[in-house]
Amino acid sequence: MSEIRNYDAEFCGNLPIHHINSIQDYGYLLVLENKTLNIIQVSENLSNITDEAPAQMMNKHLSSFFSRPDVENITKLIAGDAKDRIPLNLLFEKEGKQLSFDGLIHIKNDYSLLEIEAASKEGRKSFSDVFQEVRQFISAMESGSTLDEVCNVAIKQLRKVSGFDGVRMYQFDANWNGTVIAEDISGALESYLGQTFPASDVPKQARALYLKNPFRLISNRAYQPVRLYPVINPLTNAFIDLSDCNLRGVASVHLEYMQNMNVSASMSIRVLREGKLWGLISCHHIEPNYPNVDMRYIFEWLSVEISNRIAAILDQEDYNQSASRLEKRTAITDFIYGKDDIIEGLLDDENLNILSLFNAGGVVVKIGNRIEYRGDIPDKSEIYNLMLWLEGKGIEKIFSSSHLGELYEEARAYEKTGSGILVIPVDGRSGDYVICFRPEVIRQIKWGGDPEQVINFDKDGKNYHPRNSFKLWLQTVYGQSLPWVQNELEIAESLRNFIFEFRTKQLYN
């Protein structure tokens, strides 16, 4: 089938969701000028607490509403080194009225954003209690030795701790499509295990926000958006950036997406590897759900522990594979030295040759007037044309593709044997190459809904809606091989350097 349209890049990924300029209604937002601690913006619902109109609160000092110790603490925080996501306990005081709040402050250059919400009525958990919960969680995860085991244990434990109706682990691929690799749900939720959701479901600007915020909570999709007053931040003369805020409002299209999934509340937690977004843990609830601050902090902590455990498993797998490839690469270079011949050293050993090094189905080696073949390869006339194409592209560095037919149309004729290609240029100017081929791997993608109907535009072409069905939709993918991983490319580059040096010595000796 034809390529699926990428709304992640074309449309969804360009929406400025961090400038949505409204918040969810389970909390309140104050924007403070750092030098004076005067209030310069508020969420309009703050009037419910202060009994003052938003305009009346402008340029009032923070001490007009909060206790002196709280104001002194915030002053120290603004002057300190920590700048983001600093938790606070606050006491609102006005005309004999006292209210306790949980707070979170984000300190910018000129202003600070102070998020507050009513303090949990449940008893606060002690550090010891929280630590015990997290330690039990970590112990359960450590029992898993594979990625599948760790993810499944983590998902089950998270659902047990949180009480959400369903928890799923999504892993992103190279194109940012997310596949559900672990799931624990109640009967009221539909199973999506093994299904893939297009990148536009979590578009690029939303993914970027997860690098700033470890989780995203939407307690009630039917919440009433609360506007900020004034609309424009007086210091920046622009909509304020709410990237860091837990309370940040939700784009209407995402609320509609939740409705189509038949969920009222969601909480997504990031999974990082090497500082990049590797996946998401998505929690869903049929009814509105308001996990308290303690629970959210536990989730934030567990996000780190899950990320570390997954990274450790994957790093160990990468290390084992890399060590195996390096051992094979060393043996092959020893063969080349022993035979004093590049082609024989690369190909002659039946059990340990360049095919086994790169998990290839076939290989062609051309050096000077010699050309040798091994394994399943395209017709020789096709190989000749391929080499001319490589020369025309001026390939001087390692070149690889898992979908050659997409780059070189003639390759579509031999996709069964050569969907993937790895080219090690020995001397590109002379047309000397080592070319490894990988066969086609036909695969089926189980999409969560028709990926061609990711979004649907109204007749005006401006307003749009998410797909209304997540029913399994199968796509069969042809003409692609297994991908070439980074370590294979690094090994190929080291082999290219060795061959170049070895050949240079042969020419001048």
Section 82-107 average pLDDT: 91
**Same-domain pairing of 11 and 57:** no
pLDDT tens digits, one per residue of 448-507: 877 776 666 556 655 656 666 677 778 888 999 999 999 999 999 999 999 988 888 877
- pLDDT for residue 1 is more than 50: no
CA–CA separation, 86 and 78 (whole Å): 10
Classify residue 435: in a domain, yes or no.
yes
Classify residue 467: in a domain, yes or no.
no
Helix (H) or strand (E) holding 425: strand 420-427
**Same-domain pairing of 13 and 32:** no
Classify residue 430: in a domain, yes or no.
yes
**Same-domain pairing of 14 and 32:** no
Classify residue 326: in a domain, yes or no.
no
Section 378-401 average pLDDT: 93
Predicted local confidence at residue 232, as pLDDT: 94
- pLDDT for residue 423 is more than 50: yes
- pLDDT for residue 173 is more than 60: yes
- pLDDT for residue 263 is more than 50: yes
The pLDDT confidence band at residue 2, using thresholds 50, 70 and 90, is very low
- Are the beta carbons of 205 and 217 closer than 8 angstroms? no
Q: Which two tokens stand for residue 431?
A: 């047309």
**Same-domain pairing of 110 and 127:** no
| Residue 93 main-chain phi, psi, to 5 deg | -135, 125
**Same-domain pairing of 77 and 204:** no
CA–CA separation, 344 and 349 (whole Å): 8
Section 267-273 average pLDDT: 95
**Same-domain pairing of 283 and 253:** yes
**Same-domain pairing of 351 and 362:** yes
**Residue written as tokens 């020893």?**
334
State the CATH number of the domain containing residue 438.
Answer: 3.30.450.270
The pLDDT confidence band at residue 430, using thresholds 50, 70 and 90, is confident
Residue 262 per-residue DSSP state? T
Predicted local confidence at residue 130, as pLDDT: 77
Domain that includes residue 491, residue range: 340-442+478-508
CA–CA distances in Å: residue 364 to residues 167, 432, 488: 49, 10, 18
State the CATH number of the domain containing residue 135.
Answer: 3.30.450.40
State the CATH number of the domain containing residue 24.
Answer: 3.30.450.20
Structural domain count of the chain = 3
**Same-domain pairing of 82 and 104:** yes
Q: What amino acid occupies position 103? A: G
Q: Which two tokens stand for residue 272?
A: 């990082």
pLDDT tens digits, one per residue of 192-206: 999 999 998 898 889
**Same-domain pairing of 56 and 103:** yes
CA–CA distances in Å: residue 183 to residues 174, 186, 269, 439: 22, 10, 14, 33
Section 255-264 average pLDDT: 92
The pLDDT confidence band at residue 11, using thresholds 50, 70 and 90, is very low
What rounded mean pLDDT belongs to the chain? 90
**Same-domain pairing of 204 and 149:** yes
Classify residue 454: in a domain, yes or no.
no
Tell which of 282, 316, 350 closes a domain. 316
**Same-domain pairing of 71 and 90:** yes
CA–CA separation, 445 and 95 (whole Å): 62
Classify residue 129: in a domain, yes or no.
yes
**Same-domain pairing of 32 and 78:** yes
pTM of the model: 0.85
CA–CA separation, 87 and 53 (whole Å): 27
Classify residue 335: in a domain, yes or no.
no
